[in-house]
Structure 1
Amino acid sequence: MTHDCGTYAVASRDIVFESFDGEAVVLNLANGKYFGFSDSGSRVWQALSSGVNTEALIGLTVGGSTLGAAELEHFISQLLEMGLLVRSDQVAQALPGELSADLAATNEPLNVSIHDDLADLIIVDPIHEVEEPLGWPAVKQAS
């Protein structure tokens, strides 16, 4: 696999993310899957999804060790495969100084996990597909 530096962007408007105490949770509203990141994964996701060039991340201290190109490529390939990121030809953004400090403070290796236990509820249309008069989250049963 050749070393491929570049910039990336969030794959679609259906992908939303929120950070809770430094842990990112990314939700794909289209299929109801959500993704949990390790602390270092959260920070790298923040960088990549805001258009920071991969080149700027290689060699940084992440999760207690130095982030290598192969490790970063593997993480990015997972995000591409999961449909969370797409390659972008936008001008690369600079890595914010506080983000490299935040990366250095992480103590977990790069990791992302997929969860689909709430998918059925997430992709339900809360206006049209709920059980009257119970309302959300009681989903209509197919009769």
Structure 2
Amino acid sequence: MDQQHYKINAPQIVHEVIDGEAIIINLESGNYYSLQHSGSTIWHLIGQGWSTRRIITELSRLYRGTSEDMEQGITELIEELQQENLIIPCDDHAVYPEQRNNEIISDSEKKDFTKPVLESFSDMQDILLLDPIHEVDDSSGWPNPPNDSAE
């Protein structure tokens, strides 16, 4: 699993990172999710196509904590993201080259590592599943209505 790459399961998954929080919506299930702190960083790196091993290395650079705790937290989060069908394994990691960040971060600048927690919400399922974006094909594009509407 160390060299495994993943990608976000688009187009059924839409996401945005705002003020350090990853907000993720599964358009097929209507569930939405939140990842904060290290979880948001992991989500961003998955979206960039980084391998699991490289994500662990990068978090070790950004956070204070043991590599064992980080590896366990990252591994568990990736398993949970797969179970929720938010990410899928990707063999074609050449499309997303891993970029090195050589910025030096002093120990005093590092944040304490906390185990990432995927928060799941289903309270807006009905609204998200009724959204007309689900009924629009690629050729007409949102927000245009489908062409088969009767007048």
Give the TM-score of the pair, scaled to structure 2.
0.69
Instruction: Decide whether the 8 Å contact of 1:18 with 1:25 is kept in 2.
Output: yes
Higher helix proportion (structure 1 or 2): 2
Compare 62-71 and 88-97 and name the one that shifted more. 62-71
Relative to structure 1, is the Cα distance of residues 110 and 35 closer, same or farther in structure 2, using a 3 angstrom cutoff? same
The residue that corresponds to 1:29 in the other structure is: 27
How much does 1:63 deviate? 5.2
Instruction: Decide whether the 8 Å contact of 2:73 with 2:115 is kept in 1.
Output: no
- Alignment partners' CA distance in 2, 1:105 and 1:46: 17
Which of these residues, 56, 59, 82, is aligned with residue 58 of structure 1? Answer: 56
- Alignment partners' CA distance in 2, 1:115 and 1:106: 26
Q: Where do 5+ consecutive residues of structure 1 fail to align?
A: 128-143
The residue that corresponds to 2:98 in the other structure is: 94
Instruction: Decide whether the 8 Å contact of 2:20 with 2:36 is kept in 1.
Output: no
Relative to structure 1, is the Cα distance of residues 56 and 10 closer, same or farther in structure 2, using a 3 angstrom cutoff? same
Q: Where do 5+ consecutive residues of structure 2 fail to align?
A: 134-151
How much does 1:5 deviate? 2.7
Cα deviations across residues 41-70 of structure 1 (Å, max 9, x unaligned)? 011011012201111122415654244333
Relative to structure 1, is the Cα distance of residues 52 and 58 closer, same or farther in structure 2, using a 3 angstrom cutoff? same
AA aligned to 2:56 is I
Relative to structure 1, is the Cα distance of residues 98 and 44 closer, same or farther in structure 2, using a 3 angstrom cutoff? farther
AA aligned to 1:65 is G
How much does 1:11 deviate? 1.5
- Alignment partners' CA distance in 2, 1:47 and 1:123: 28
Which of these residues, 83, 86, 101, is aligned with residue 84 of structure 1? Answer: 86
AA aligned to 1:124 is L
Percent of aligned positions with the same letter in both sequences?
25
How much does 1:72 deviate? 1.7
Relative to structure 1, is the Cα distance of residues 99 and 18 closer, same or farther in structure 2, using a 3 angstrom cutoff? farther
- Superposed CA RMSD in Å reads 2.6
Instruction: Decide whether the 8 Å contact of 1:38 with 1:108 is kept in 2.
Output: no
Cα deviations across residues 2-37 of structure 1 (Å, max 9, x unaligned)? x54310001230100011111110011111100011
- Alignment partners' CA distance in 1, 2:52 and 2:82: 14
Relative to structure 1, is the Cα distance of residues 98 and 121 closer, same or farther in structure 2, using a 3 angstrom cutoff? farther
AA aligned to 2:65 is S
Give the TM-score of the pair, scaled to structure 1.
0.72
The residue that corresponds to 1:133 in the other structure is: none
